[in-house]
Amino acid sequence: MTKILGISGSLRKASFNTALLRAAKSVAPNDIEFETATLHGIPLYDGDVEAESGIPAAVTDLKQKIIAADGVILFTPEYNNSMPGVFKNAIDWLSRPPADIKKVFGCRPFALAGASPGNFGTILSQNAWLSVMRTLGADLWSGKRLILPKAAALFDSEGQLTGEQTRERLRDFLTAFAEYVASTKAP
């Protein structure tokens, strides 16, 4: 069984990316153990806080979930043609102290997915993540991209993914990523 962690990069209750994360959990094939995480409770990064108080509990909890996962999917919104600050902030905390970078990110398979109300989906946000993931030594999977533009038409008022074709794209994305993740595991 392949263990995948999905993290929503939005704090908003009605977030399309949190809805996409929930949809991924619901369509995940039986051979994928799919866990979800949010960024709630992670404070703004402050080196003084880190020096005085250490790593916040919400960051430590998220680190442990990442370390326990075989692969991670970042469900990223796009704000002002880039990644959301709250998501980048969480990654900055996760890279502290520097000695933890290798065990959290080093060679761990990561994938990017996202939904946006705009016409281009989250392509610019996903592109912005490339240099960050490369810097941290993550194994950023490029086998497929999941970019859902015009997301308002894809989800109902309850945040449920409505179209079977989109659900199938999501399932195919998860399956392909899980197969990649499984291929990277030591025998």
pLDDT at residue 186 tops 90: no
Q: What is the pLDDT of residue 184?
A: 94
pTM of the entire structure? 0.96
- Mean pLDDT, residues 33-47 taken together: 97
35, burial (CB in 10 Å: exposed 0-12, middle 13-18, buried 19+): middle
d(CA 186, CA 41): 34
Contact 9, 105 (CB under 8 A): no
Parent domain of 157: 2-184
- Number of domains making up the chain: 1
Q: What is the pLDDT of residue 185?
A: 83
**Tens digit of pLDDT for each residue in 98-107?**
999 999 999 9
Residue 71, domain CATH: 3.40.50.360
